[in-house]
Amino acid sequence: MAIAAFIDHTLLKPTATIPEIKQLCDEAMEHQFYAVCVNGCHVALAKKELKDSPVKVAAVVGFPLGAMSTQAKIAEAKDCIQQGADEIDMVINIGWLKSNLDEKVLEEIRDLKTSIGEKTLKVILETCYLTAEEKERVCKLAVQAGADYVKTSTGFGSGGATFEDVILMKKTVGSKVKIKASGGIKDKQAALKYIELGVSRIGTSSGPSLLK
């Protein structure tokens, strides 16, 4: 199986330098990864580096806390798309979900999707902070809101992707939306297991070493 086609080659550290972003893009082209995933300030650079290649640019929005205003997230998402992003990975408002403000969570995801039009929207749940019931609820909200993916984690929380979470997410969303596993995926065996469980994309900063 060609794992490379599932990988979002990721560099989201606050310390990421311009040469490191360029290297990320070079590696993505060399290994034919599906996309690179970067912070908003690096989108234009990544787009330029990946010119004439099939590698997509994914940008994170509301990252990593998800606790800024909806309007701020929308402005950030629109800016990333203008700079050349093909996909947006947004963090939900975790506090709203935990406060049972489901309508607000739904509206925010829907508003983000509306603001980026045909571009792909991945909704980051940050599963390490959620109960099983909350994970199910937010998966259903993401489907209802018209998201394209539900995604496990930012990689900046207290935990990353787990097989259990992906099984729960798959059971909840079925084939209505796709699933992205991210956070702490560093070896080939784990990546293959996630693919077997039904994920369509894997977010990892260990892409090249994972292929070995």
- Active centre residues (catalytic): 89, 151, 180
| DSSP collapsed to 3 states, the chain | CCHHHHEEEEECCCCCCHHHHHHHHHHHHHHCCCEEEECHHHHHHHHHHCCCCCCEEEEEECCCCCCCCHHHHHHHHHHHHHHCCCEEEEECCHHHHHCCCHHHHHHHHHHHHHHHCCCEEEEECCHHHCCHHHHHHHHHHHHHHCCCEEECCCCCCCCCCCHHHHHHHHHHHCCCCEEEEECCCCCHHHHHHHHHCCCCEEEECCHHHHCC
